Amino acid sequence: MEVKPAGASPGTGGGGDHDLHDDLQERLRATEERLADAERALFETEAKYGALLDQLPCAIYVDEPDAEGTTLYVSPQIEDLLGVTPEQYIHSAEVWEEMVHPEDRERLNADYEAFLRTGHPEAGDYRFLRPDGTTVWIHDRSRLIRGTDGRALFVQGAMFDVTSQKEAELKVQHLAYHDALTDLPNRAMFEEAMELALARAKRRDLSVAVLFLDLDDFKSVNDSLGHTVGDEVLKVVAERLRHATRATDLVVRQSGDEFIVLMADLDRGADGTSARAAVDVVQDRIARGLGEPLVLAGHELSTEASIGSAIYPEDGEDERGLMHHADAEMYAGKRERGGRLAG
């Protein structure tokens, strides 16, 4: 019969407790090392991506996929972008709504509602009003993150400041449709506006009128006083035309010393009498406005112009016919008046 030492566990031998303790200690050390490695890895990841995030030229955000756009996270760049701290942005639900430019608010809300339903549009350009009163253009690009079941989990996005690019783009667009010297609409805008005005007139039985103006003897001003003075005269004429016409009229600098006024959506009246009366009123106001003396470079000048008009449909059925009629009437009047722009 075998005799075992007192206190020994069956099958472990006399050193069983010691071995078990060592094993537990080894496992604990291994666990601690794994935790330390995980902490180091987490720290390195946060440091790596945190530093990268800090260098991004945009504000990163994570939102709940709800109509309120509840923000879960926004990066520190939001302060440079919109002038509010991350804490203000996250904890005040009204910040976003209040900062969106009133003219862009409806479009942004419609875009966001469509985005939550469909995931599109994924990007848009909107104006925001910073607390200091300045306006900033934001390019907002976002993505709807869904789970395996297709349910929307959250929204990830980035906001970029595109103010300088947008202002340059708008300036190019403006120059495409405006005269650089007087800032009046140019012939390109006139042609588009005329096309739309004629289409409305045909549908609603309205009249459209064009007035064609040519400054009298403007060439003598450039020849005697120089183009700088001539440019100033054109600017004054543009301003006087703005004041003499109705708010709904389009005043256009066609080229040189030629100007056009487009009067759209005129009530025709019997045989076009109402439209003719409206044209006569504006034409008289223009004549009186341009007849006011002007002093430039020590010379008193008059800015009188010869004016011809044409009314749809009596004088023409399209832009070409109307402009031909107004042009012919203007030159006939110039010959009769012997008009001069003298100083």
**CB atoms near residue 94 (< 10 Å):** 7
Measured CA to CA in angstroms, residue 157 lies from 65, 104, 140, 147, 332 at distances of 12, 19, 7, 17, 65
Measured CA to CA in angstroms, residue 221 lies from 218, 231, 301 at distances of 5, 10, 9
CB 59 within 8 A of CB 81: yes
What are the phi and psi torsion angles at 294 (to 5°)? -135, 130
* Residue 204 CB-density burial (10 A; 0-12 exposed, 13-18 middle, 19+ buried): exposed
CA distance 245 to 197: 17
Residue 10 CB partners (closer than 8 Å, separation 6+) = 4
Residues in the chain, overall count:
343
Strand, helix or coil for residue 299: strand
Helix axes 227-244, 273-290, angle to 10 degrees: 140
Q: Which residues are catalytic?
A: 257
What's the one-letter identity of residue 140?
D
